[in-house]
Structure 1
Amino acid sequence: MSTKYKAITTEEAYFITITTVGWIDVFTRLNQKHAIINALQYCQQNKGLEIYAYVIMSSHIHLLCKATNGFVMSDVMRDFKKFTSKKIIQTCVDEPESRREWMLAYFQKACNHLKREQHYKVWQDGYHAEIIYSNSFIKQKIEYIHNNPVKDKIVSLPEDYYFSSARNYAGLVNDLEVILLNLF
Protein backbone atom coordinates (compact mmCIF):
# COMPACT_ATOMS: atom_id res chain seq x y z
CA MET A 1 0.00 0.00 0.00
CA SER A 2 1.33 3.43 -0.93
CA THR A 3 2.28 5.79 1.87
CA LYS A 4 2.70 8.85 -0.36
CA TYR A 5 -0.27 10.70 1.16
CA LYS A 6 -0.46 9.06 4.57
CA ALA A 7 0.54 10.43 7.96
CA ILE A 8 3.21 7.87 8.85
CA THR A 9 5.48 9.92 11.12
CA THR A 10 4.80 11.00 14.66
CA GLU A 11 6.50 14.38 14.89
CA GLU A 12 5.22 16.41 11.94
CA ALA A 13 2.14 18.46 11.26
CA TYR A 14 -0.02 17.63 8.24
CA PHE A 15 -2.49 19.13 5.82
CA ILE A 16 -5.23 16.49 5.77
CA THR A 17 -8.32 16.06 3.63
CA ILE A 18 -10.98 13.45 4.35
CA THR A 19 -13.85 12.99 1.93
CA THR A 20 -17.23 11.29 2.01
CA VAL A 21 -17.88 8.38 -0.36
CA GLY A 22 -19.17 9.63 -3.69
CA TRP A 23 -18.54 13.18 -2.48
CA ILE A 24 -22.03 13.07 -0.94
CA ASP A 25 -23.04 16.41 0.56
CA VAL A 26 -23.53 15.08 4.09
CA PHE A 27 -22.53 18.28 5.86
CA THR A 28 -25.26 20.53 4.55
CA ARG A 29 -27.18 19.98 7.78
CA LEU A 30 -26.18 21.74 11.01
CA ASN A 31 -26.57 18.58 13.07
CA GLN A 32 -23.98 16.78 10.93
CA LYS A 33 -21.54 19.70 11.12
CA HIS A 34 -21.94 19.82 14.90
CA ALA A 35 -21.21 16.09 15.08
CA ILE A 36 -17.90 16.73 13.32
CA ILE A 37 -17.08 19.67 15.61
CA ASN A 38 -17.83 17.53 18.69
CA ALA A 39 -15.63 14.71 17.39
CA LEU A 40 -12.77 17.11 16.67
CA GLN A 41 -13.11 18.57 20.18
CA TYR A 42 -12.94 15.06 21.61
CA CYS A 43 -9.78 14.36 19.60
CA GLN A 44 -8.25 17.60 20.88
CA GLN A 45 -9.04 16.73 24.50
CA ASN A 46 -8.38 12.98 24.48
CA LYS A 47 -6.23 12.08 21.48
CA GLY A 48 -3.55 14.77 21.47
CA LEU A 49 -4.83 16.45 18.29
CA GLU A 50 -3.59 19.99 17.79
CA ILE A 51 -5.62 21.83 15.15
CA TYR A 52 -4.15 24.93 13.51
CA ALA A 53 -6.75 25.40 10.76
CA TYR A 54 -9.87 23.61 9.52
CA VAL A 55 -12.95 23.88 7.37
CA ILE A 56 -15.99 21.62 7.14
CA MET A 57 -17.32 21.68 3.61
CA SER A 58 -20.43 19.82 2.41
CA SER A 59 -18.57 16.63 1.39
CA HIS A 60 -15.09 16.93 2.87
CA ILE A 61 -13.01 18.31 5.70
CA HIS A 62 -9.62 20.01 5.55
CA LEU A 63 -7.37 20.11 8.60
CA LEU A 64 -3.95 21.53 9.32
CA CYS A 65 -3.04 19.55 12.41
CA LYS A 66 -0.59 17.49 14.42
CA ALA A 67 -0.86 14.51 16.77
CA THR A 68 0.92 15.08 20.10
CA ASN A 69 1.42 13.41 23.48
CA GLY A 70 2.52 10.10 21.95
CA PHE A 71 -0.50 9.78 19.67
CA VAL A 72 0.00 8.88 16.00
CA MET A 73 -1.91 10.83 13.36
CA SER A 74 -2.96 7.72 11.43
CA ASP A 75 -4.55 6.29 14.61
CA VAL A 76 -6.30 9.58 15.39
CA MET A 77 -7.71 9.78 11.84
CA ARG A 78 -8.79 6.12 11.91
CA ASP A 79 -10.64 6.60 15.21
CA PHE A 80 -12.13 9.94 14.10
CA LYS A 81 -13.48 8.43 10.88
CA LYS A 82 -14.80 5.33 12.63
CA PHE A 83 -16.62 7.34 15.31
CA THR A 84 -18.00 9.98 12.93
CA SER A 85 -19.21 7.31 10.49
CA LYS A 86 -21.36 5.82 13.21
CA LYS A 87 -22.52 9.25 14.35
CA ILE A 88 -23.41 10.37 10.82
CA ILE A 89 -25.49 7.21 10.25
CA GLN A 90 -27.15 7.55 13.66
CA THR A 91 -28.00 11.19 12.93
CA CYS A 92 -29.47 10.23 9.53
CA VAL A 93 -31.68 7.64 11.20
CA ASP A 94 -32.69 9.51 14.37
CA GLU A 95 -33.11 13.10 13.19
CA PRO A 96 -35.08 14.73 10.36
CA GLU A 97 -33.32 14.09 7.06
CA SER A 98 -35.18 14.34 3.76
CA ARG A 99 -32.42 12.39 2.00
CA ARG A 100 -32.37 9.57 4.58
CA GLU A 101 -33.34 6.61 2.36
CA TRP A 102 -31.13 7.68 -0.52
CA MET A 103 -28.09 8.37 1.67
CA LEU A 104 -28.37 5.18 3.70
CA ALA A 105 -28.77 3.12 0.51
CA TYR A 106 -25.69 4.81 -0.97
CA PHE A 107 -23.65 4.20 2.19
CA GLN A 108 -24.75 0.54 2.17
CA LYS A 109 -23.87 0.10 -1.50
CA ALA A 110 -20.42 1.58 -0.82
CA CYS A 111 -19.74 -1.53 1.32
CA ASN A 112 -20.35 -4.04 -1.50
CA HIS A 113 -16.67 -4.36 -2.44
CA LEU A 114 -15.40 -4.70 1.14
CA LYS A 115 -14.06 -8.03 2.36
CA ARG A 116 -14.93 -7.33 5.98
CA GLU A 117 -18.54 -7.16 7.06
CA GLN A 118 -19.68 -3.56 7.28
CA HIS A 119 -23.19 -2.12 6.98
CA TYR A 120 -22.40 1.47 5.99
CA LYS A 121 -19.40 3.27 4.54
CA VAL A 122 -19.44 7.05 4.96
CA TRP A 123 -15.82 8.06 4.32
CA GLN A 124 -13.61 7.25 1.36
CA ASP A 125 -10.78 4.87 2.17
CA GLY A 126 -7.81 6.53 3.79
CA TYR A 127 -7.27 10.25 3.68
CA HIS A 128 -5.01 12.66 1.88
CA ALA A 129 -2.15 13.86 4.10
CA GLU A 130 0.67 16.16 3.10
CA ILE A 131 3.51 16.77 5.52
CA ILE A 132 4.08 20.41 6.46
CA TYR A 133 7.58 21.35 5.40
CA SER A 134 7.82 25.16 5.49
CA ASN A 135 6.14 28.35 6.69
CA SER A 136 5.20 29.27 3.13
CA PHE A 137 3.49 25.87 2.74
CA ILE A 138 1.59 26.48 5.99
CA LYS A 139 0.43 29.91 4.77
CA GLN A 140 -0.61 28.47 1.41
CA LYS A 141 -2.64 25.67 3.02
CA ILE A 142 -4.32 27.90 5.60
CA GLU A 143 -5.34 30.33 2.86
CA TYR A 144 -6.62 27.39 0.80
CA ILE A 145 -8.59 26.03 3.76
CA HIS A 146 -10.09 29.41 4.64
CA ASN A 147 -10.96 30.30 1.05
CA ASN A 148 -12.76 27.01 0.29
CA PRO A 149 -16.21 28.41 1.22
CA VAL A 150 -15.47 31.60 -0.72
CA LYS A 151 -14.43 29.64 -3.80
CA ASP A 152 -17.69 27.65 -3.57
CA LYS A 153 -19.62 30.94 -3.24
CA ILE A 154 -21.07 29.99 0.15
CA VAL A 155 -19.78 33.25 1.68
CA SER A 156 -18.06 36.39 0.44
CA LEU A 157 -15.43 36.52 3.17
CA PRO A 158 -13.66 33.51 4.77
CA GLU A 159 -14.48 34.63 8.32
CA ASP A 160 -18.21 34.65 7.50
CA TYR A 161 -18.24 30.85 7.24
CA TYR A 162 -19.01 29.56 10.71
CA PHE A 163 -17.45 26.09 10.33
CA SER A 164 -13.95 27.32 9.60
CA SER A 165 -10.95 28.46 11.59
CA ALA A 166 -11.00 31.65 9.52
CA ARG A 167 -13.27 32.92 12.29
CA ASN A 168 -10.65 32.11 14.94
CA TYR A 169 -7.96 33.94 12.96
CA ALA A 170 -10.31 36.95 12.60
CA GLY A 171 -10.93 37.03 16.37
CA LEU A 172 -14.57 35.95 16.03
CA VAL A 173 -16.57 33.46 18.09
CA ASN A 174 -16.27 29.84 17.02
CA ASP A 175 -17.24 26.49 18.54
CA LEU A 176 -13.89 24.83 17.82
CA GLU A 177 -10.76 26.34 19.32
CA VAL A 178 -7.57 26.16 17.28
CA ILE A 179 -3.95 27.00 17.90
CA LEU A 180 -3.39 30.24 16.02
CA LEU A 181 -0.21 30.38 13.99
CA ASN A 182 1.46 33.76 13.89
CA LEU A 183 2.44 33.73 10.22
CA PHE A 184 0.13 36.40 8.84
Structure 2
Amino acid sequence: MSRKYKFGDNDKLYFISFAVVYWIDLFIRNEYKEIMLESWRFCQREKDLEIYGWCIMTSHVHMIVGSKGRGLDKIVGEMKSYTSRSLRKAITQHPGESRREWMMWMMKRAGMMNGNNNDWQLWQQHNKPLEILNNEMFYQKLEYIHMNAVEAGFVEKAEDYLYSSARDFYGGKGLIELCYIV
Protein backbone atom coordinates (compact mmCIF):
# COMPACT_ATOMS: atom_id res chain seq x y z
CA MET A 1 0.00 0.00 0.00
CA SER A 2 1.24 3.48 -0.79
CA ARG A 3 2.72 5.49 2.06
CA LYS A 4 0.32 8.35 1.32
CA TYR A 5 -2.57 6.14 2.46
CA LYS A 6 -1.24 5.52 5.98
CA PHE A 7 -1.25 7.59 9.11
CA GLY A 8 2.31 8.76 9.66
CA ASP A 9 3.24 11.42 12.18
CA ASN A 10 0.73 11.35 15.03
CA ASP A 11 1.34 15.06 15.69
CA LYS A 12 -0.12 15.98 12.30
CA LEU A 13 -3.72 16.46 11.21
CA TYR A 14 -5.28 14.21 8.60
CA PHE A 15 -8.15 14.46 6.17
CA ILE A 16 -9.94 11.10 6.09
CA SER A 17 -12.91 9.74 4.22
CA PHE A 18 -14.61 6.44 4.72
CA ALA A 19 -17.61 5.03 2.92
CA VAL A 20 -20.20 2.34 3.41
CA VAL A 21 -19.59 -0.73 1.24
CA TYR A 22 -21.04 -0.36 -2.25
CA TRP A 23 -21.75 3.28 -1.35
CA ILE A 24 -25.05 2.21 0.26
CA ASP A 25 -27.08 5.23 1.40
CA LEU A 26 -27.15 4.12 5.04
CA PHE A 27 -27.20 7.52 6.71
CA ILE A 28 -30.62 8.63 5.54
CA ARG A 29 -31.90 7.90 9.05
CA ASN A 30 -30.94 10.28 11.85
CA GLU A 31 -30.71 7.34 14.28
CA TYR A 32 -27.79 5.97 12.29
CA LYS A 33 -26.06 9.34 12.16
CA GLU A 34 -26.45 9.63 15.94
CA ILE A 35 -24.55 6.36 16.37
CA MET A 36 -21.62 7.96 14.54
CA LEU A 37 -21.79 11.11 16.67
CA GLU A 38 -21.92 9.16 19.94
CA SER A 39 -18.93 7.09 18.86
CA TRP A 40 -16.96 10.24 18.04
CA ARG A 41 -17.85 11.81 21.40
CA PHE A 42 -16.65 8.67 23.16
CA CYS A 43 -13.41 8.68 21.14
CA GLN A 44 -12.90 12.33 22.03
CA ARG A 45 -13.36 11.65 25.76
CA GLU A 46 -11.61 8.31 26.06
CA LYS A 47 -9.26 7.83 23.10
CA ASP A 48 -7.64 11.26 22.48
CA LEU A 49 -9.46 11.88 19.18
CA GLU A 50 -9.35 15.51 18.05
CA ILE A 51 -11.94 16.55 15.47
CA TYR A 52 -11.33 19.71 13.45
CA GLY A 53 -14.04 19.31 10.82
CA TRP A 54 -16.56 16.70 9.76
CA CYS A 55 -19.59 15.87 7.64
CA ILE A 56 -21.83 12.81 7.51
CA MET A 57 -23.30 12.26 4.06
CA THR A 58 -25.75 9.50 3.12
CA SER A 59 -23.09 6.95 2.15
CA HIS A 60 -19.82 8.33 3.50
CA VAL A 61 -18.08 10.48 6.08
CA HIS A 62 -15.37 13.14 5.78
CA MET A 63 -13.29 14.34 8.73
CA ILE A 64 -10.19 16.29 9.64
CA VAL A 65 -8.74 14.58 12.70
CA GLY A 66 -5.72 14.54 14.95
CA SER A 67 -4.53 13.03 18.22
CA LYS A 68 -1.98 14.03 20.83
CA GLY A 69 -2.14 10.60 22.43
CA ARG A 70 -3.09 7.30 20.85
CA GLY A 71 -2.28 6.52 17.24
CA LEU A 72 -4.90 7.66 14.76
CA ASP A 73 -4.81 4.30 13.00
CA LYS A 74 -5.92 2.63 16.25
CA ILE A 75 -8.56 5.25 17.07
CA VAL A 76 -10.12 5.21 13.61
CA GLY A 77 -9.93 1.41 13.38
CA GLU A 78 -11.65 0.93 16.73
CA MET A 79 -14.26 3.58 15.88
CA LYS A 80 -15.07 1.91 12.56
CA SER A 81 -15.27 -1.50 14.24
CA TYR A 82 -17.56 -0.23 17.00
CA THR A 83 -19.85 1.70 14.63
CA SER A 84 -20.05 -1.29 12.31
CA ARG A 85 -21.36 -3.49 15.13
CA SER A 86 -23.68 -0.77 16.46
CA LEU A 87 -25.08 0.08 13.05
CA ARG A 88 -25.63 -3.59 12.25
CA LYS A 89 -27.68 -3.92 15.42
CA ALA A 90 -29.60 -0.72 14.64
CA ILE A 91 -30.40 -1.86 11.11
CA THR A 92 -31.71 -5.22 12.30
CA GLN A 93 -33.79 -3.66 15.09
CA HIS A 94 -35.18 -0.58 13.34
CA PRO A 95 -38.92 -1.23 12.94
CA GLY A 96 -39.29 0.92 9.83
CA GLU A 97 -36.18 -0.20 7.96
CA SER A 98 -37.67 -1.27 4.65
CA ARG A 99 -34.22 -1.85 3.14
CA ARG A 100 -33.05 -4.19 5.92
CA GLU A 101 -32.84 -7.44 3.93
CA TRP A 102 -31.15 -5.79 0.96
CA MET A 103 -28.61 -3.93 3.10
CA MET A 104 -27.84 -7.02 5.17
CA TRP A 105 -27.36 -9.06 1.99
CA MET A 106 -25.02 -6.45 0.49
CA MET A 107 -22.98 -6.15 3.69
CA LYS A 108 -22.75 -9.92 4.13
CA ARG A 109 -21.67 -10.18 0.50
CA ALA A 110 -18.93 -7.59 1.07
CA GLY A 111 -17.78 -9.38 4.24
CA MET A 112 -17.57 -12.75 2.54
CA MET A 113 -15.48 -11.25 -0.27
CA ASN A 114 -13.00 -9.78 2.24
CA GLY A 115 -10.64 -12.17 4.00
CA ASN A 116 -10.32 -9.76 6.94
CA ASN A 117 -13.96 -10.31 7.93
CA ASN A 118 -16.00 -13.29 9.05
CA ASP A 119 -19.45 -12.56 7.71
CA TRP A 120 -20.11 -8.84 7.64
CA GLN A 121 -18.61 -5.60 6.41
CA LEU A 122 -20.19 -2.18 6.77
CA TRP A 123 -17.27 0.13 5.99
CA GLN A 124 -15.00 0.00 2.98
CA GLN A 125 -11.57 -1.10 4.10
CA HIS A 126 -9.62 2.12 3.61
CA ASN A 127 -9.70 5.64 5.09
CA LYS A 128 -7.25 7.21 2.66
CA PRO A 129 -5.66 9.46 5.29
CA LEU A 130 -4.09 12.51 3.74
CA GLU A 131 -1.70 14.49 5.91
CA ILE A 132 -2.60 18.18 6.21
CA LEU A 133 0.62 19.92 5.21
CA ASN A 134 -0.27 23.57 5.93
CA ASN A 135 -3.10 25.99 6.78
CA GLU A 136 -4.00 26.48 3.13
CA MET A 137 -4.54 22.75 2.70
CA PHE A 138 -6.48 22.59 5.97
CA TYR A 139 -8.95 25.24 4.83
CA GLN A 140 -9.22 23.73 1.35
CA LYS A 141 -10.18 20.34 2.85
CA LEU A 142 -12.49 21.99 5.39
CA GLU A 143 -14.34 23.82 2.61
CA TYR A 144 -14.60 20.58 0.65
CA ILE A 145 -16.10 18.85 3.69
CA HIS A 146 -18.60 21.64 4.34
CA MET A 147 -19.64 22.03 0.70
CA ASN A 148 -20.55 18.33 0.37
CA ALA A 149 -24.11 18.89 1.58
CA VAL A 150 -24.52 21.95 -0.64
CA GLU A 151 -23.26 20.15 -3.73
CA ALA A 152 -25.54 17.20 -2.94
CA GLY A 153 -28.50 19.60 -2.88
CA PHE A 154 -29.37 18.98 0.78
CA VAL A 155 -29.04 22.65 1.73
CA GLU A 156 -28.33 25.97 0.04
CA LYS A 157 -25.82 27.14 2.64
CA ALA A 158 -23.24 24.87 4.28
CA GLU A 159 -24.05 26.14 7.77
CA ASP A 160 -27.64 24.91 7.41
CA TYR A 161 -26.65 21.24 7.28
CA LEU A 162 -27.03 19.80 10.78
CA TYR A 163 -24.67 16.85 10.33
CA SER A 164 -21.57 18.88 9.61
CA SER A 165 -19.16 21.15 11.44
CA ALA A 166 -19.95 24.06 9.09
CA ARG A 167 -22.23 25.84 11.56
CA ASP A 168 -19.33 26.03 14.04
CA PHE A 169 -17.43 28.15 11.51
CA TYR A 170 -20.39 30.48 10.84
CA GLY A 171 -21.11 31.55 14.42
CA GLY A 172 -23.42 28.68 15.37
CA LYS A 173 -23.02 25.64 17.59
CA GLY A 174 -22.60 22.22 16.02
CA LEU A 175 -23.22 18.73 17.33
CA ILE A 176 -19.56 17.84 18.05
CA GLU A 177 -16.98 19.72 20.07
CA LEU A 178 -14.25 20.84 17.72
CA CYS A 179 -10.57 21.58 18.02
CA TYR A 180 -9.29 24.63 16.16
CA ILE A 181 -5.94 25.36 14.57
CA VAL A 182 -4.17 28.47 15.79
**Structure 1 residue 115: Cα displacement:** 2.7
CA distance in 1, matches of 2:180, 2:9: 23
Which residue identity lines up with residue 74 of structure 1 in the other structure?
A: D
RMSD over aligned Cα atoms: 1.3
**Partner SS for 2:3:** coil
Runs (4+) of structure 1 exceeding 6 A deviation are none
- Quick one: distance in 2 between partners of 1:114 and 1:126? 12
- Given that 1:168 and 1:177 are in contact with CA atoms closer than 8 Å, whether structure 2 keeps it comes out as no
- Residue pair 2:14, 2:129 contacting (<8 A) in 1 also: yes
**Count of matched residue pairs:** 181
Contact 1:168/1:180 (8 A) holds in 2: no
Q: Say if 2:51 is the partner of 1:45.
A: no
Cα gap change, 1:141 to 1:83, in 2 (>3 Å)? same
Match of 2:91 in 1: 92
Question: Which residues of 2 match residues 51-62 of structure 1 at below 5 A?
Answer: 51-62=51-62
Give the superposition deviation at 1:117: 5.0
Q: Which runs of 5+ in 2 are unaligned?
A: none
**Deviation, structure 1 residue 118:** 1.6
Amino acid at match of 2:47: K
Q: Say which is worse superposed, 109-118 or 138-147, in terms of deviation.
A: 109-118
- Residue 26 (structure 2) aligns with: 26
1:126 to partner: Cα distance: 1.9
Give TM-score, length-normalised by structure 1: 0.94
CA contact (8 A) 1:17 1:128 kept: yes
Q: Determine helix, strand or coil for the equivalent of 2:27.
A: helix
- Write the distance in 2 (CA, Å) between the matches of 1:153 and 1:117: 35
**8 Å CA contact 2:112, 2:120 repeated in 1:** no
C-alpha deviation, 1:9, in angstroms: 2.4
CA distance in 2, matches of 1:98, 1:136: 44
**1:17 corresponds to:** 17
Report 1:60-99 matches (<5 A): 60-69=60-69, 71-96=70-95, 97-99=97-99
Secondary structure of the structure 2 residue equivalent to 1:154: coil
Q: Over residues 66-116 of structure 1, what are the superposed CA-to-partner deviations in whole Å (9 max), with x where a residue is unaligned? A: 0222x0010011001100000110000111311111001110000122335
Aligned to 1:145: 145
- In the superposition, the TM-score normalised over structure 2's length comes to 0.95
- The answer on 1:169 being equivalent to 2:150 is no
Contact 1:53-1:142 within 8 A present in 2 as well: yes
Distance 1:159 1:130, change over 3 A: same
Matches of 1:10 and 1:169 in 2, distance apart?
25
Residue 128 of structure 1: how far off its partner (Å): 1.1
Structure 1 residue 3 displacement after superposition:
2.8
SS of structure 1 residue aligned to 2:66: strand
Unaligned runs of 5+ residues in structure 1 are none
